[in-house]
Amino acid sequence: MSLTLYVDAARFRANQHRVLALAPEVVPVAKGNGYGLGNARLATEAASLGVDTLAVGTYAELGEVSEHFPGSLLVLTPWRSFEAPQAPNPRVIHTVGRLEDLQGLLGRDPEARFVLERMTSMLRHGFSARGLREAGEWLDANPAGTFEGVAFHLPMTGASHLSEVQRLMTDAVAAGLPATTIWVSHLTDAELASLGRSWPDYTIRPRIGTSLWLGDRDAFTVKASVLDSHEVDRGDIFGYRGRSAPKSGTILIVSGGTAHGIGLEAPTGANTMKARASAIARGGMDAAGFVRSPYSIGGKQRLFAEPPHMQASMLFVPAGSPVPAVGEEIDVRVRYTATSFDRVEIG
């Protein structure tokens, strides 16, 4: 019995083609839980789209995608001597953000393909402007490998990124690196177009995950199976914690628990009166101390009878409300990037 992600294939793929039409240089990103769909499946989708490069988050994820996607594989996490695989792989494009790593990578694999990452206002990884110049000088003196361009990882929110990108582009030019490809994240279509006009010698390649895979939320439905159902009267004892039912109703056992990523953000253990009162005030808990769950029945959101278990959850359905039968499926709201589904059905 499962937590299932149902995918409307036509809508899912129409959205991908919309993104591809607006950004023909797109580099699809497959990482983590594969945005709920799994990295292997995303690699297959990317192959059908006909793009030449797929990005993965980490070296460990290469194995999940490499047999499903035939092209180049860009690793987004920067190269580190203690994490990168030892064996050279001509399909892999490494991300490098420190001079010592550039030297380490090319020392290990003189043919390696790499992009140099320039630090952005994210302050995550990458060279400073000066560091990028030093890397350019070092490469001039020690030519090796294949330089595949400069990467910028931009924050998601904030005002227009254009002025920041313009400054970063100037740094790339000042570093004396050949004009090739700029790999960017989180630019709007208008920003991409404007950047392309400002820097016609460069190919601008947006790395896109969320809007490519999850851009049409109506393509997805998440369902949990009803596994069991027990009528209770006020005062009946249930659950790991031996709580008593505050009123009559049904304890419904449904698939999906903490191992799937269900309900981790729900306020749990609010045992003091004060915590409970503030949870009620926020609308997260009813007066009986039940926490709002992501499950809904007939369009009505239902309450957890107790915090989710590892693979199942207990809901409380008050008397008088419709109770689905064992074997029926009910709706669940989830964060796709934080949920492990038992099944993904594309149809």
Site of interaction with ligand PLP (CB under 6 A): 29, 31, 76, 153, 185, 207-210
Integer-rounded Cα radius of gyration of the chain: 25
CB of 187 to ligand PLP, least distance (A): 10
CB of 207 to ligand PLP, least distance (A): 4
- Distance (Å, whole) CA 153 – CA 138: 23
Of 211 and 313, the one with the shorter C-beta distance to ligand PLP is 211
Closest among 328, 100, 149, 109 to 228, alpha carbons compared:
328
Put residue 235 in one of left, alpha, beta given phi > 0 → left and psi -120 to 50 → alpha. left
Of 54 and 224, the one with the shorter C-beta distance to ligand PLP is 54
Of 31 and 292, the one with the shorter C-beta distance to ligand PLP is 31
Of 29 and 93, the one with the shorter C-beta distance to ligand PLP is 29
Closest among 180, 177, 290 to 238, alpha carbons compared:
290
Q: Is 236 exposed, middle or buried (0-12, 13-18, 19+ CB in 10 A)?
A: middle
CB of 188 to ligand PLP, least distance (A): 12
CB of 274 to ligand PLP, least distance (A): 38
Residue type, 288: A
Contact 296, 333 (CB under 8 A): yes
Of 117 and 306, the one with the shorter C-beta distance to ligand PLP is 117
166 in helix, strand or coil?
helix
Of 127 and 295, the one with the shorter C-beta distance to ligand PLP is 127
Contact 286, 302 (CB under 8 A): no
CB of 230 to ligand PLP, least distance (A): 41
CB of 139 to ligand PLP, least distance (A): 22
Q: Which DSSP string corresponds to 90-117?
A: TTEEEEE-SHHHHHHHHHH-TT-EEEEE
Of 34 and 209, the one with the shorter C-beta distance to ligand PLP is 209
CB of 32 to ligand PLP, least distance (A): 8
Residue number of the CB atom closest to ligand PLP: 209
